[in-house]
């Protein structure tokens, strides 16, 4: 069965899905995106993802092409047409098609929207049993990382550097020596004093939806989390480290820049939070 995409009001075969050459997403990376996870036919954290999508659009002054009910309808129609019960739905919205010019196009230019869905392989259990490796690199991104922009070139370079080093992820480090986040994940550590730490929200990081859910789950489980900056050196001395994202869930980090983190094995805090998150995903959300 061929895959189906949604492009500007039409369901089309995935192989034929296309946007105009002067779409501003292609010309300027003038757009935003979202990725939601689907598990056992349930869309995980759908409303928080739509909240973030609407915020990103507002920050870039791009009009939303449709209401929330329409987003949800198209999401489920794509899942149905593509027979996806475990996978992702990707949404990208740009400022639309206009003659190439840096300023915004004339009022009335409609935004472009593309939505796709696909199955994804389950996470390899070895990642959770043995943990993953992370490498650090300078954070060369722009100063509005809180916007989920399609402008991801530094993230691409970070992922490539990680892959070439045999690592799973890259952690970005700011000019003060503090970890901001991963190339596509949020960063967490457990200090030697047992403090669970993740960087506070602000322009330097994306407000991860899995991060948001874990903060609430940790609070419900009476696990104290401190939202603050932590340095790369502190991460290297940490008892545990892990990352979170829509598709990585809660993945333990056992090696940072080639050296073991803590005991070099996944720790109990990451294991506990992953267990809590799996339970959370198995609880159906109201549509």
Mean residue pLDDT of the chain comes to 96
The H-assigned helical ranges of the chain are: 24-28, 46-60, 68-82, 125-130, 153-164, 209-220, 232-236, 268-281
Convert the pLDDT of each residue in 39-58 to its tens digit.
999 999 999 999 999 999 99
pLDDT of 1 reads 61
Q: Got the DSSP string for 9-25? A: TEEEEGGG----TTBHH
- Closest by alpha carbon to 212, among 146, 137, 121? 146
Fold of 125-281: D-amino Acid Aminotransferase; Chain A, domain 2 (3.20.10)
Cβ–Cβ < 8 Å for 68, 53: no
Enzyme catalytic residues: 148
Considering the four listed CATH numbers 3.30.470.10, 3.30.530.20, 2.40.160.20, 3.40.50.970, the one that applies to the domain covering 4-119 is 3.30.470.10
What's the sign of the alpha-carbon dihedral 208, 189, 162, 138?
positive
| Domain residue ranges of the chain, discontinuous segments joined by + | 4-119, 125-281
Both tokens of residue 22?
A: 């002067």
The set of residues, in sequence order, having a beta carbon less than 8 Å from that of 131 and lying 6+ positions away, is 251, 252, 253, 254, 255, 261, 264, 265, 266
pLDDT at 286: 44
Q: Write down the pTM of the prediction.
A: 0.95
């Amino acid at each position: 069965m061929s895959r189906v995409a949604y492009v500007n009001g039409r369901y089309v075969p995935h192989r034929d899905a296309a946007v105009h050459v002067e779409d501003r997403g292609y010309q300027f990376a003038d757009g935003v995106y979202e990725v939601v996870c689907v598990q056992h036919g349930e869309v995980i954290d759908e409303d928080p993802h739509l909240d973030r999508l609407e915020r990103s659009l507002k920050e870039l002054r791009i009009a939303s092409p449709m209401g929330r009910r329409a987003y949800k309808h198209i999401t489920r129609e794509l899942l149905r047409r593509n027979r996806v019960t475990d996978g992702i739905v990707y949404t990208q919205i740009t400022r639309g098609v206009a003659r190439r010019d840096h300023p915004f196009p004339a009022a009335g230019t409609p935004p472009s929207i593309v939505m796709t869905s696909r199955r994804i392989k389950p996470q390899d259990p070895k990642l959770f049993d043995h943990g993953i490796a992370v490498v650090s690199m300078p954070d060369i991104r722009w100063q509005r990382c809180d916007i989920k922009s399609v402008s991801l070139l530094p993230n691409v370079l970070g992922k490539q550097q990680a892959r070439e080093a045999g690592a799973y992820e890259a952690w970005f480090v700011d000019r003060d020596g503090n970890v901001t986040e991963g190339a596509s994940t949020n960063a967490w550590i457990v200090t030697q004093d047992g403090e669970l730490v993740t960087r506070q929200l602000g322009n330097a990081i994306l407000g991860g939806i899995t991060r948001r859910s874990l903060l609430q789950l940790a609070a419900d489980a009476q696990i104290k989390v401190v939202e603050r900056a932590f340095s790369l050196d502190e991460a290297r001395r940490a008892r545990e480290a892990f990352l979170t994202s829509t598709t990585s869930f809660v993945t333990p980090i056992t090696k940072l820049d080639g050296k073991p983190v803590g005991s070099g094995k996944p720790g109990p805090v990451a294991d506990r939070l992953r267990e809590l998150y799996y339970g959370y995903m198995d609880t159906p959300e109201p549509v």
